Copies of this chain bind each other. A is one copy, B any other.
């Protein structure tokens, strides 16, 4: 039996000195193909792997790869985070001075609300630039396990904050912009960094009622899988993302990291994600979980063999290191499989320039002066302001603040520090709370102090201290909601309600009759109907997790320095939504004990709907492009010059919309294009977002043109087998919620299949997790059994 030998490397790794580069000039490999910069990445990688012993290969399967000292291959840490700025656990910030901070942008849920793909690319470029600077200082690796692009399906999800929202088209567009910024152009000689689309797939439950992420086996129909859960991941493939992460959960019986159907048939074969430099990592420790608690593989050796054979190339953790020796000894896996995994890994590192001399690489020249620049800091502030959504305004906003105005600040977010960042955050350049930002204005601030009505402190002991601030203020501003104590990794929300203590404080503020502004923080939406219906609550803003300069962005909106144009990237459900549908019910369409999910299918009345967002002005829209009244399906398909064989990517038409600012305040405007209609299999979604674009700085009385590019995918539906189909029927293209404008057209002729979906193997074992039985949860309704 082979035993790992990695003491020296482990030592180097432990000291943080893991970002060393192989020395291809003077090192032991200098004459090998791996060091030949003119050879192809795959040839270079193959030449290296051929030099490895089996033991060395096995050790290299771990995310904490020990390297091979005898060949001059240094340890390499594949696990780096960069969700909204570079972050730990393996990014090493210094305690002071250079490299002690970077730029911390808003959480994706707020950046998603900006509906501005160009912004996302800009942000991602900053992150990848700062990553390179830190890498050059031996403080991080080059592979980033971001983005989290699972759709925010259920409002309870503790990690919904990490995603851009609930809509799969929105996520697809966002993620392509993001990957472009992180990885650079396909024609660049070197990748900026490698992005990793996670968590593939069906991962959006942390711990609901005993359904733990490490052992969940989610049941998803092929229709929902193709129509919703997989959409952003296929977009990642379109964007040529360098890596995927398979998830903790099983899908329809099989843990994803051991599932050749998902990792090979769908991802690599059907979508064509076959570049030699593209690899799959497991979530940390999803490979171990295949053994326990999934109990999918009967032994530890079988678990590592199953996952490696299925197409998991890197094991976050050490389970492969520990148990592949046994798996080889038992003949459960052969060397070709592990070679393939390692060739993918090293091809990727070749494309990052890891083996090439620094001199020829611009990215290797980036230093501390490229981190947290003035421009990056301004971008972080801009990103937050672009995302903030105005939900209610009786005219109090924007505030004209001057020295005669006294502004009261209340709520546990008013003086937020790391709360601003949300989870997966690094060290921001600074943490500018709303209080800090208000103090920069020429206005008298009455900060209530303490934590009155905070989420974590339900007691009133601190309440009396806020009275003076209420009395002496002209305008009252409450900044609260939720934070990572209510929603985080490992912890889903159990309530969509405001806490009673917070509502009580807000109520007391509003009862004064003074202008009262509520800023709702947090990633998941809180049912704010009680505030919406309170005529004494003057305005409501949603500001998510706005990042290092979030307080400034909030005050920019409050004062009108920035005009709000963000849109809700998620439905704000009424609080009883979560008692109507188990989190484990993955179906999108309404059914028994399921009122439907997302704006497409929810059959109740949202408090605030997806896409909602007010402005400081009003807009009208007019579709100026002339669409045909009808299109023949066969013409649409035959005229299509399919991109990479994907008919769905063919253009349908480009639609121009004239957007007019009919008010007086200069403002951005997000143009949302929805398709609705009766075509394809019933039931029909209420509407589907198919395109969006943000246009900027439209002055009062002025107009601008928004262009929405529709493809055949904009019109397609998915059938129960997962096929994408163009159906004859009546279509409406609608601009904005409301809508502000719409145009109807029909598709005629025979339906056409745009994509034939590969079916899962018939012998696929559907293995339920034992111990979980359906049962009736008695709440407070009439159906509760009272003895």
Collect the chain B residues with CB atoms within 8 Å of residue A574's CB.
Answer: 771
Complex CA–CA separation, A463 to B574 (angstroms): 45
Using known A-B contacts A212-B495, A464-B318, A777-B209, determine if residue A291 contacts B504 with beta carbons closer than 8 Å: yes
Using known A-B contacts A4-B464, A318-B461, A787-B589, determine if residue A501 contacts B288 with beta carbons closer than 8 Å: yes
**Which residues between 32 and 61 of chain A lie within 8 Å of chain B, taking CB atoms?**
none
The answer, among B219, B322, B575, for a CB contact under 8 Å with A784, is B219
A774 near B778 (CB under 8 angstroms)?
Answer: yes
Q: Does A535 contact B (CB under 8 A)?
A: no
Among A328-336, A439-447, A559-567, A579-587, the stretch in contact with B: A579-587
Complex CA–CA separation, A289 to B589 (angstroms): 37
Among A185-193, A590-598, A733-741, A747-755, the stretch in contact with B: A590-598
Q: Does A105 contact B (CB under 8 A)?
A: no
Complex CA–CA separation, A508 to B299 (angstroms): 11
**Which residues between 733 and 771 of chain A lie within 8 Å of chain B, taking CB atoms?**
768-771
Q: Smallest CB-CB separation from A315: which chain B residue? A: B460
Q: Does A64 contact B (CB under 8 A)?
A: yes
Collect the chain B residues with CB atoms within 8 Å of residue A170's CB.
Answer: none
The answer, among B211, B224, B507, B771, for a CB contact under 8 Å with A787, is B224
Collect the chain B residues with CB atoms within 8 Å of residue A321's CB.
Answer: 464
Complex CA–CA separation, A458 to B508 (angstroms): 45
Apart from A284-B459, A317-B459, A321-B464, 5 more pairs, CB < 8 Å: A209-B777, A219-B784, A291-B504, A300-B508, A774-B781
Q: Does A503 contact B (CB under 8 A)?
A: yes
Q: How many residues of A contact B (CB 8 A)?
A: 82
Collect the chain B residues with CB atoms within 8 Å of residue A458's CB.
Answer: 214, 284-285, 288-289
Q: Smallest CB-CB separation from A318: which chain B residue? A: B460
Q: Flag A318-349 by CB within 8 Å of B: 1 or 0 each.
A: 11011000000000000000000000000000
Complex CA–CA separation, A292 to B453 (angstroms): 12
Nearest CB of chain B from residue A412's CB, rounded to whole Å = 15
Complex CA–CA separation, A705 to B221 (angstroms): 67
- Interface majority SS (helix, strand, loop, mixed), chain A: loop
A776 near B774 (CB under 8 angstroms)?
Answer: yes
The answer, among B292, B464, B495, for a CB contact under 8 Å with A501, is B292
**Which residues between 773 and 787 of chain A lie within 8 Å of chain B, taking CB atoms?**
773-787
Q: Does A215 contact B (CB under 8 A)?
A: yes
Using known A-B contacts A292-B503, A579-B775, A772-B781, determine if residue A787 contacts B212 with beta carbons closer than 8 Å: no
Collect the chain B residues with CB atoms within 8 Å of residue A207's CB.
Answer: 494-495
Task: Report the copy number of this chain in the oligomer.
Answer: 2
**Which residues between 566 and 622 of chain A lie within 8 Å of chain B, taking CB atoms?**
574-576, 578-582, 584-585, 587, 589, 591-594
Collect the chain B residues with CB atoms within 8 Å of residue A775's CB.
Answer: 579-582, 593, 776-777, 779
Residues on A facing B (Cβ under 8 Å): 4, 64, 207-212, 214-215, 217, 219, 221, 223-224, 284-285, 288-289, 291-294, 300, 316-319, 321-322, 458-461, 463-464, 494-495, 497, 499-501, 503-504, 507-508, 574-576, 578-582, 584-585, 587, 589, 591-594, 768-787
The answer, among B4, B64, B785, for a CB contact under 8 Å with A585, is B785
Complex CA–CA separation, A112 to B210 (angstroms): 27
Complex CA–CA separation, A576 to B574 (angstroms): 31
The 10 closest A-B pairs by CB, nearest first: A293-B500, A774-B783, A292-B500, A772-B779, A576-B771, A317-B460, A772-B780, A773-B781, A774-B781, A768-B780
Complex CA–CA separation, A497 to B770 (angstroms): 11
Q: Smallest CB-CB separation from A511: which chain B residue? A: B300
**Interchain residue pairs with CB less than 8 A apart (10):** A210-B579, A284-B459, A285-B458, A292-B500, A322-B460, A576-B770, A581-B775, A582-B776, A589-B787, A776-B776
B787 near A782 (CB under 8 angstroms)?
Answer: no
Complex CA–CA separation, A285 to B207 (angstroms): 28
Q: Smallest CB-CB separation from A288: which chain B residue? A: B460
The answer, among B64, B291, B779, for a CB contact under 8 Å with A773, is B779
Nearest CB of chain B from residue A189's CB, rounded to whole Å = 34
Nearest CB of chain B from residue A618's CB, rounded to whole Å = 34
B786 near A219 (CB under 8 angstroms)?
Answer: yes
Complex CA–CA separation, A779 to B768 (angstroms): 10
Collect the chain B residues with CB atoms within 8 Å of residue A776's CB.
Answer: 582, 592-593, 774-777
A579 near B504 (CB under 8 angstroms)?
Answer: no
B786 near A221 (CB under 8 angstroms)?
Answer: yes
Complex CA–CA separation, A209 to B778 (angstroms): 11
B500 near A771 (CB under 8 angstroms)?
Answer: no
B778 near A64 (CB under 8 angstroms)?
Answer: no
The answer, among B285, B497, B783, B785, for a CB contact under 8 Å with A591, is B785
A319 near B460 (CB under 8 angstroms)?
Answer: yes
Of the candidates A461, A773, A776, A778, the one having the most CB atoms from chain B within 10 angstroms of its own CB is A778
Nearest CB of chain B from residue A487's CB, rounded to whole Å = 13
Complex CA–CA separation, A460 to B460 (angstroms): 44
B288 near A580 (CB under 8 angstroms)?
Answer: no
Using known A-B contacts A288-B501, A319-B460, determine if residue A495 contacts B214 with beta carbons closer than 8 Å: no
Collect the chain B residues with CB atoms within 8 Å of residue A316's CB.
Answer: 459
